[in-house]
Structure 1
Amino acid sequence: MTDNIKNIEENISNAVLDNIYQRRSVRNFSDKGISDEIVKEIIRAGTYAPTAVNKQPWRFVVIKNKQLIEEYDDRAKKAFLAAYKDTENPDLAKFVQFLSKPSTRIFYSAPVLILVFASPDVINEHDCALAAENMMLAAQSLGIGSCWIGLAEGLGYDIEFLKEVGVPEGHKLIAPLIFGYPTKQNLKAPARNADVILKWIN
C-alpha cells in the first residue's frame, strides 16, 4: 500500500494538490505588508471550512499594528513560561529554554497576526482548526506565508489581553496564526512518512 501511495504522488496533480503540498510553515518574513483586502479574503476562505450543523463558530481578531504584535509576543512568552516553568516533560522543557531567551520572537516579526476564536455556542472546536487550515492554504495560493503559533495559546487565558482586543466572555482561542510575505520562496517540505495507514479494509 505504501508503494501505491508513492505511485499516486507521481501520477496525480492539480492546482489544489500542488498548493497543499507546497504549503510550509514560514518564520521569516519580508517587510512588505499585506493589504486589508487580502487579509479579508484569507478570512473569507476560513469561513468556508466545514462546520457542525452550520454553526460557523469561528470569530477573528486581526492585528496589523507592529508594536502591538511585539507587545503580545512578550506576553505570550511570559504566559507560556509561567505555565510550564516547572515542567518535567523534556520537550516542553526545551521550549521553556527557548522562550527564556530575550531575543526569541514567537511571532517572528510577522506583519499580520490573526487569532481564531471559537464562539461560546460552538459544537465542535475542530471547526475553527479547519478554518485555520483553509486560511493558511488560501495564503499559500496568494504567495503569502503563514504559521500556527501554538506557543501563543496562553493569550487565550489572559483576561486583560482578551479585553484589550475586544473578545467577549466565553470565547476560546483556538489558533494564533501569523501571515506575511516570505523572504524565501519555494521552500521544500520535509519528507513525509508514507506508511501511515493502520488498516485498509475493502
Structure 2
Amino acid sequence: MKNIIEIIKTRRCVREYRDDTISDEDIKFLINCAKYAPSGFNLQPWSFIVIKNKRIMQEISERGKKSFIPMLEPIKNTSQKIEDFLDYLKTEGTDTFYNASKLNLM
C-alpha cells in the first residue's frame, strides 16, 4: 500500500517529450493495463484510439484550441496560470499535446 501512496503523491503531468519510438507491443501492453481501471458497475465502457500521424495530431490540437479559448476567456483574470495557458493557446504553431510522439484517446 505504501508503494501505491508514493506513486499517487509523486505523479506528474508530462509536458516535454523525447523523440523515442514506442513499440506497438508496449502500447498494447499499457492499454491492456488501463482496462483494469475501475468503472461503474464494472461496465468497462472504454475504447482506445492511438494516433501516430503528426498531421492528424496537429489537427486535433487546433480543434482543441478553438474549444479551450472561448471557455477560458471569461475566467482569464482569475489565475495567472489560466492567463499564461490562454496566451500559449493563442500562439501560432503551439501544440496542445506538447509535441508528443503519439496521442492516446480514450
TM-score range, shorter chain: 0.7 to 0.9
CA distance in 1, matches of 2:93, 2:53: 20
**Pairwise CA distance, 1:88:** 4.2
Tell me which residue corresponds to 1:56.
Answer: 44
CA distance in 2, matches of 1:86, 1:20: 32
Q: Does 2:11 match 1:23?
A: yes
CA distance in 2, matches of 1:78, 1:64: 22
The one-letter amino acid paired with 2:46 is W
* Displacement over 6 Å in runs of 4+: none
Tell me which residue corresponds to 2:56.
Answer: 68
The one-letter amino acid paired with 2:94 is T
Superimposed CA distance per residue, residues 25-76 of structure 1 (whole angstroms, 9 cap, x where no aligned partner): 1111111121111111111111101122221111212111122112211221
Any conservation in 2 of the 1:29–1:109 contact (CA below 8 Å)? yes
CA distance in 1, matches of 2:42, 2:2: 31
Q: Give percent identity, aligned residues only.
A: 38
**Pairwise CA distance, 1:77:** 1.0
Identify which of structures 1 and 2 has the higher relative contact order when contacts are C-alpha pairs closer than 8 Å and 6+ apart: 2
Any conservation in 2 of the 1:61–1:115 contact (CA below 8 Å)? yes
Q: Answer with 1 or 2: which has the greater Rg.
A: 1
The one-letter amino acid paired with 1:28 is E
Question: What are the ranges of 5 or more consecutive residues in structure 1 without an aligned counterpart?
Answer: 1-11, 117-202
The one-letter amino acid paired with 1:87 is P
CA distance in 1, matches of 2:75, 2:15: 28
Q: Does 2:74 match 1:87?
A: yes
More helix by percentage = 2
The one-letter amino acid paired with 2:50 is V
TM-score, length-scaled by structure 1: 0.44
Superimposed CA distance per residue, residues 69-119 of structure 1 (whole angstroms, 9 cap, x where no aligned partner): 1221122112222x3365145248613333111142210110111111xxx
CA-based RMSD of the aligned residues comes to 2.5
Question: What are the ranges of 5 or more consecutive residues in structure 2 without an aligned counterpart?
Answer: none
More strand by percentage = 1
Tell me which residue corresponds to 2:98.
Answer: 108
Q: Does 2:26 match 1:41?
A: no
**Pairwise CA distance, 1:22:** 4.0
TM-score, length-scaled by structure 2: 0.77
Any conservation in 2 of the 1:84–1:96 contact (CA below 8 Å)? no
Any conservation in 2 of the 1:87–1:93 contact (CA below 8 Å)? no
